[in-house]
Each structure stands twice: as structure tokens, then as C-alpha cells.
């Protein structure tokens, strides 16, 4: 085992319950009070191919999976060949003896055993859970309990199959990786679930989406929660419809959010610009995947940062922030919802596939979420775009005796179209005042996460890369200062000023170093070097710690 961490990897074809087996493993670890980090690696297909799920667990907080697995369960030849080098020292390979022989590990005839059951494809995952149960020293009763809870369809067959595999794997596997009981049983959620719950806590009323990996699971989660929380969740015809419906929704006073990835976000930019001039409080979740264009749909990258910072034509205030952990996603989504309503402008919650779709055990203080509430207008003769001191015009929603006009054309204070030179400039100034007000407000907020270290070098990372960096440093026993800007627009330069001329290193998942450029240009930071990864895969803590060590010399 790597330090005090146990890693379980299960791999096979899509449709064999790989992801589910990973998720059941995560729940088993969590049920004994361990901390968990789970990552699913899957291809953009429905059946076949090669998928794997990898779960690392420890009694301490863990913020990444490890690619070196202690227990490696492969349902087919391809998986075994793919992962043969992913075995940790002292680890154990379980392979499908119907497809392979002469592997240094324990062979299980998965195919011929599964063949005996009507739901044969789904039995593989159950088998993986049985192997895990044996390896971590679960008694049969304990295993059967987990199987019954996690695989409610066809319980009898599942339990029977699990017991067969459990008996088969005994020699060489049973009790090989006994785990310590942790101090507390915690829930496991994905980043997208955390974002969704944060939005609900912040006051979400309506959500609009068009399916696009890796943001789709927000749409799915919220659609399921419609009745529970009294939401309207709509799957519209395109991202163009999505963003414009959401803007229409905010006009009625509904707190609305949309979610998408690169290409869908590109379509939304027209509407983001509309939100800029109409001053619509709209929150957009942008979950990045490798681009350009369709790119690599089910993998991760951080290459939409510069696009997000300037999304939409024209001058207007965009708030962009990125959560560093799954837990922070909850608070930050609620905070962003609050901010877009406070400042009546579009906000982008920037994240990645890695955060969106990974699962973690979490400790969330639910009550700490912010609550979005606009500044409301009292009285008569309402003017939607009243030129207030801070640029923030109080709001009113229909039905109202007052006439409320939001306008995509440049407009006067009432909201009627204008081409008057003086008015055009005045309205630009009015909207620009909101940036000043926002910066003043953010100065009192937690905008940059700084973990002070004892070395002379500072590591900069944003988004889910922060989790990878933390784990790499822990693995490598390194303690430089870590700086994780949560807000990227406006970039909290007031917090970053102290690092200007220090030794700074950036770690990011962009081939051109977009985050590095941002720090150089906006915060005037000297950056010695950037550690990049842009193959669609997240950083592995062991590899990353080596790279960090190299540059720390």
C-alpha cells in the first residue's frame, strides 16, 4: 500500500457494472469510517470498450485517487493488459482466467461463472465487490448485506454469485488488505451533486440544461429532486434555448442556473452577453473537458479558462470562480448564486470533469451556504436601470403595477431603447460601477485559499488541480506554500500582491498555460515554470510529486 492508502481498481467493458462496482467499493470503505476518493475513467460509448473505476481510501482526508492499485480486478484481457503496470508494490491482480493464463495473480473464471445467470453482464461488478470483500477481510454476512443494499435487482442471484466468487478467491486474497476503522461514517457525493445541492441551498428555483458530458449529471440529479425541493427542471432543445429560458426565468424572480461544457458554453455566449446588458442574475456551470470542439467528451482539462473570462461580446462584468474541492463546490455554488443576484450580472462556476464526476467522502456544514436575495425596489415610478451610486439598480418582478423593462438594446433608465450618445456612455459607466462594488465586497470575502508552507516556493493551482496538488505534496512529504485562487474574475490581485516577486510555480491542465498567463497578466506574478498535463487524465499524486520535487530543486 502507498503510505496509509489502499487503492482498488476495477476494469472491464462498458455495461459490465464497472462504475457501479467502484461506487459500491467506495460505500463499503465509507461505511467503516474511511475517507474515500473515487474516479471513473470511461469512454464515450455505451457498450464495450474499456472502462475502469478507481477508489483510494484512507483514514485521513484524501483528495485524489492513486493510479498504483493494491487490488486490481480485471473483467477481461484488455483491462488486464492495460493495467498490468498500475499494480502497487505488494499488490494483487485478479484476472479473468477464461480469457488469460500465466498472469502473476489470482485467476477467476468470470465469464463462465457469469454465463450461468440470466443477467450475466451485470454479474461481473458483483464479482468484483465479492473479491474486495474477501481482500479487506469482510465476513460473508457483511458482504451479503452490502450486496443486498447496493444491488437490489435480482438479489438472490447476486448473493449467490458473490458467494461463489468469494469462495473461489479465498487463497491468496482473503484478508490481504485489512483496513482500519475510521472515526466517522461520512456521506459520499460527486462534485456535480455538491454543486447541485449548493445551488438548492442558495435558493435555486429553476434549472435549464441540454445534455453534455460532464455537466449532464447536474441536470439528472436536479430532475430527480424536482418534487423534493419544488424546482422546475427543463431539458431544452439547445444551449441557446437553455440560457435564454434561464434569463427569462430570472425576470420573474426565479433563481436560475444552467450547466454545460465547452461547445454548449460556446452557444451560450450570445445569452451571456444578453445577461450582461439586461443585468440578468444568471449562474452558468461550465464543466471543462478537453477541447477544442467535441474534443474528448469524458475526460478532463482546464483549457476553457480564458474563454470563460471573456465569454460574451461587449463590455460587461462577468464573475468567474472555481471550486478546489468537492466540499467547496457546495459553498461556492451558493455563494455564486448570491453574488449574481447581488450584482445582477452573469457568473460562471468553472470546474472540470475531474471534479464534476469524482466522488469523495465529505464533511459539509449545510447551514454555511449563502442565500441569494436581490435588492428590491420600494415605491412608484420604477426604473429598472436606475443609475444607483454603486450601479446596482433595485429589482421588481411581475406581476407588478409598475412596468419592468429589461432590454438587450442599449437603453435608458426606464429600459427603453436608446441611441443617444450621452445615455450610451452613462449606461456603460453604470454597469462598470458594479465591478468596483464587487471588488470592494470581495475584499471582505474568502477569495484565495492560501496554505502557508515552509519552503521558499509557492505553488499555484485552481479548480480540481488543487486536490491533486494537495495529495501529491502529502505523498512526497513536501510543504511549499499553496495558493489557490477561488475567484478568477475579478482576480483577487489584492490577495496575490505579496507573491509578485517570489519563486512561483503554476500547476495546471492546459497545454498553453492559460492560468499562468492570467496570473502573469492580471496579478503581475513572476512565474518560474508551469507543470502542465493535457492528456485528458488528471494528475496522479505520485507522478506529480516527482515533477514538483524536480522543480523545487
- Binding of other proteins at residue 428 (CB under 8 A)? no
Is residue 291 within 8 Å of residue 355, measured between CB atoms? Answer: no
User: Any contact of residue 455 with other proteins (CB under 8 A)?
Assistant: no
Residues binding other proteins: what is the number (CB under 8 A)?
Answer: 68
Q: Decide: is 314 part of the binding site for other proteins (CB under 8 A).
A: no
Is residue 181 close enough to count as binding other proteins by CB under 8 A? Answer: no
For residue 376, state whether it binds other proteins (rule: CB under 8 A). no
Q: Which residue has the cell 433595485?
A: 394
The answer to whether 9 and 86 have CB atoms below 8 angstroms apart is: yes
CB of 381 to other proteins, least distance (A): 12
Task: Report which DSSP code applies to 421.
Answer: H
Beta strands (DSSP E) in 146-228 are: 188-190, 206-209
Q: Is 18 in the site for other proteins (CB under 8 A)?
A: no
Contact call for residue 385 and other proteins (CB under 8 A)? no
Asked if residue 237 binds other proteins (CB under 8 A), the reply is yes
Q: Residue 280: enclosing H or E segment and its boundaries?
A: none
Indicate whether 200 belongs to the interface with other proteins (CB under 8 A). Answer: yes
- Contact flag: residue 283 with other proteins (CB under 8 A): no
| Cβ 290 to other proteins shortest distance, Å | 28
If the CB atoms of residues 402 and 543 are measured against other proteins, the closer one turns out to be 402
Binding of other proteins by 427 (CB under 8 A): no
* Shortest distance (Å) from residue 234 CB to other proteins: 6
Segment contacting other proteins (CB under 8 A): 141-149, 200-208, 294-302, 440-448? 200-208
Question: Could you say whether residue 253 binds other proteins (CB under 8 A)?
Answer: yes
By CB under 8 A, name the one of 3, 44, 180, 417 that touches other proteins. Answer: 417
Any contact of residue 270 with other proteins (CB under 8 A)? yes
- 226, 294, 310, 456: which one contacts other proteins (CB under 8 A)? 226
Cβ pair 375, 343 in contact under 8 A: no
**What are the strands of the beta sheet with 503-508, ordered from one edge?**
448-451, 481-485, 457-460, 503-508, 529-532
Q: Is 545 in the site for other proteins (CB under 8 A)?
A: no
401 binding other proteins? (CB under 8 A):
yes
CA distances from 48 to 78, 94, 122, 177, 537 (A): 11, 20, 13, 30, 20
State how far the Cα of 185 lies from the Cα of 3, in Å rounded to an integer.
Answer: 22
Main-chain dihedrals φ then ψ at residue 253, nearest 5 degrees: 95, 5
Burial grade of 104 (CB within 10 A; 0-12, 13-18, 19 or more): exposed
3: left (phi over 0), alpha (psi -120 to 50) or beta: left
User: Which residue's CB is nearer to other proteins, number 251 or number 494?
Assistant: 251
User: Using only C-alpha atoms, what is the Rg of the chain?
Assistant: 25
CB 202 within 8 A of CB 370: yes
CA–CA separation, 333 vs 356, rounded Å? 13
Contact string (CB under 8 A) for other proteins, positions 332-371, x = contact: ------------------------------x-x-xx-x-x
Residue 379 interacting with other proteins (CB under 8 A): no
Please choose, out of 94-102, 129-137, 310-318, 409-417, the segment that lies near other proteins by the rule CB under 8 A: 409-417
d(CA 432, CA 390): 9
Cα–Cα distance between 319 and 89 in angstroms, integer?
46
Q: Which residues bind other proteins (CB under 8 A)?
A: 30-31, 185-189, 197, 200-201, 203, 205-206, 208, 226-232, 234, 236-238, 240-241, 244-256, 270-271, 274, 278, 362, 364, 366-367, 369, 371, 397-409, 411, 414-417
Amino acid at each position: 500500500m502507498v503510505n496509509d492508502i489502499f487503492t482498488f481498481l476495477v476494469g472491464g467493458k462498458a455495461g459490465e457494472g464497472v462504475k457501479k462496482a467502484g461506487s459500491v467499493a467506495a460505500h463499503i470503505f465509507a461505511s467503516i469510517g474511511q475517507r474515500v476518493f473515487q474516479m471513473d475513467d470511461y469512454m464515450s460509448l455505451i457498450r464495450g470498450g474499456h472502462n475502469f473505476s478507481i477508489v483510494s481510501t484512507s483514514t485521513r482526508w484524501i483528495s485524489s485517487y492513486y493510479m498504483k492499485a493494491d487490488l486490481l480486478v480485471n473483467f477481461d484481457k484488455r483491462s488486464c493488459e492495460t493495467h498490468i503496470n498500475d499494480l502497487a508494490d505488494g499488490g494483487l491482480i485478479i484476472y479473468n482466467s477464461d480469457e488469460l493464463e500465466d498472469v502473476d495473480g489470482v485467476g477467476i473464471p468470470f465469464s463462465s461463472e457469469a454465463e450461468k445467470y440470466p443477467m450475466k453482464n451485470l454479474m461481473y461488478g458483483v464479482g468484483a465487490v465479492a473479491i474486495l470483500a474477501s481482500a479487506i477481510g469482510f465476513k460473508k454476512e457483511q458482504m451479503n448485506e452490502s450486496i443486498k443494499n447496493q444491488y437490489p435487482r435480482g438479489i438472490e442471484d447476486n448473493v449467490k454469485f458473490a458467494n461463489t466468487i468469494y469462495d473461489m478467491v479465498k487463497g491468496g486474497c482473503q484478508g490481504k488488505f485489512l483496513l482500519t476503522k475510521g472515526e466517522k461514517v461520512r456521506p459520499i457525493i460527486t462534485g456535480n451533486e455538491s454543486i447541485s445541492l449548493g445551488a438548492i441551498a442558495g435558493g435555486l428555483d429553476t434549472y435549464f440544461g441540454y445534455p453534455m458530458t460532464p455537466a449532464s449529471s447536474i441536470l439528472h440529479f436536479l430532475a430527480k429532486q424536482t418534487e423534493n425541493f419544488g424546482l422546475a427542471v427543463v431539458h431544452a432543445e439547445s444551449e441557446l434555448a437553455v440560457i435564454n429560458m434561464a434569463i427569462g426565468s430570472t425576470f420573474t424572480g426565479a433563481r436560475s442556473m444552467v450547466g454545460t461544457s465547452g461547445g454548449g458554453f460556446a452557444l451560450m455566449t450570445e445569452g451571456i452577453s444578453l445577461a450582461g446588458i439586461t443585468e440578468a442574475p444568471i449562474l452558468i456551470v461550465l464543466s471543462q473537458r478537453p477541447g477544442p470542439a467535441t474534443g474528448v467528451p469524458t475526460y478532463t482539462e482546464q483549457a476553457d479558462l480564458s474563454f470563460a473570462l471573456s465569454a460574451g461580446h461587449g463590455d460587461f462584468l462577468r464573475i468567474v470562480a472555481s471550486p478546489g474541492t468537492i466540499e467547496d463546490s457546495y459553498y461556492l455554488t451558493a455563494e455564486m448564486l448570491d453574488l449574481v443576484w447581488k450584482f445582477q450580472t452573469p457568473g460562471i462556476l468553472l470546474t472540470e470533469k475531474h471534479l464534476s464526476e469524482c466522488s469523495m467522502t465529505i464533511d459539509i456544514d449545510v447551514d454555511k451556504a449563502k442565500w441569494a436575495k436581490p435588492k428590491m425596489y420600494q415605491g412608484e415610478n420604477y426604473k429598472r436601470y436606475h443609475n444607483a451610486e454603486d450601479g446596482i439598480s433595485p429589482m421588481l418582478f411581475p406581476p407588478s403595477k409598475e412596468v419592468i423593462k429589461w432590454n438587450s438594446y442599449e437603453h435608458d433608465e426606464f429600459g427603453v431603447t436608446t441611441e443617444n450618445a450621452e445615455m450610451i456612455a452613462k449606461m456603460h459607466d453604470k454597469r462598470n460601477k458594479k465591478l468596483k462594488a464587487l471588488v470592494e465586497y470581495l475584499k471582505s470575502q474568502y477569495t484565495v485559499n492560501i496554505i502557508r508552507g515552509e519552503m521558499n516556493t509557492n505553488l499555484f493551482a485552481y479548480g480540481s488541480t488543487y486536490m491533486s496538488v494537495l495529495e501529491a505534496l502529502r505523498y512526497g512529504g513536501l510543504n511549499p506554500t499553496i495558493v489557490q485562487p477561488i475567484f478568477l474574475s475579478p482576480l483577487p490581485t489584492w490577495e496575490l500582491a505579496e507573491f509578485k516577486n517570489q519563486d512561483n510555480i503554476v500547476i495546471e491542465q492546459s497545454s498553453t498555460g492559460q492560468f499562468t498567463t492570467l496570473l502573469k497578466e492580471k496579478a503581475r506574478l513572476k512565474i518560474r515554470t508551469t507543470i502542465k498535463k493535457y492528456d485528458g487524465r488528471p494528475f496522479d499524486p505520485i507522478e506529480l510529486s516527482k515533477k514538483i520535487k524536480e522543480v523545487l530543486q
